């Protein structure tokens, strides 16, 4: 397994970037499959410093006008930190390894988050400052299957 120092820059695999660029719809709900290679503590916006043990995480979000732009932004390593997920993805030990999109309205973002919260461990308060969900980021169990 490859390890990275904070000075190394990783490139997003072309197959992920190409899939995102070729989406045929401009709004929807998306899920990012994120691998955290090494346990890290991260200050996430207004949340307390949060520990992310190594493993796989699923983040759910939505974009109602420019889904492709939003996903390409998430795929960039260095950017202005705005959403909670930006703080995690900026870390050199976190990387997006999968992107799933659903042609659906914004209301499905929270519906899916509630379903995921029943099955996976919630990172409390993450990504849900504009709704009443417990979280929009979930840690997958080490031996669970997703999708």
> Each residue of 7-41: pLDDT tens digit?
344 566 666 666 776 677 788 999 999 999 999 99
Break the chain into its structural domains and give their ranges: 14-139
Read off the tokens for 23. Answer: 């989406």
- Predicted model pTM: 0.83
């Amino acid at each position: 397994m490859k390890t990275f120092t904070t000075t190394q820059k990783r490139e997003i695999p072309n197959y992920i970037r190409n899939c995102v660029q070729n989406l045929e719809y401009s709004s929807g709900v998306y899920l990012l499959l994120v691998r955290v290679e090494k346990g890290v503590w991260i200050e996430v916006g207004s949340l307390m410093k949060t520990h992310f043990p190594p493993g796989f995480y699923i983040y759910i979000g939505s974009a109602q006008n420019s889904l492709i732009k939003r996903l390409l932004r998430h795929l960039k390593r260095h950017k202005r930190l705005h959403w909670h997920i930006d703080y995690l993805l900026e870390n050199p030990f976190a990387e997006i390894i999968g992107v799933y999109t659903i042609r659906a309205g914004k209301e499905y973002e929270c519906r899916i988050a509630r379903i995921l919260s029943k099955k996976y461990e919630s990172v409390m308060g993450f990504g849900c400052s504009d709704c009443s969900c417990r979280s929009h980021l979930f840690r997958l169990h080490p031996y669970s299957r997703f999708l």
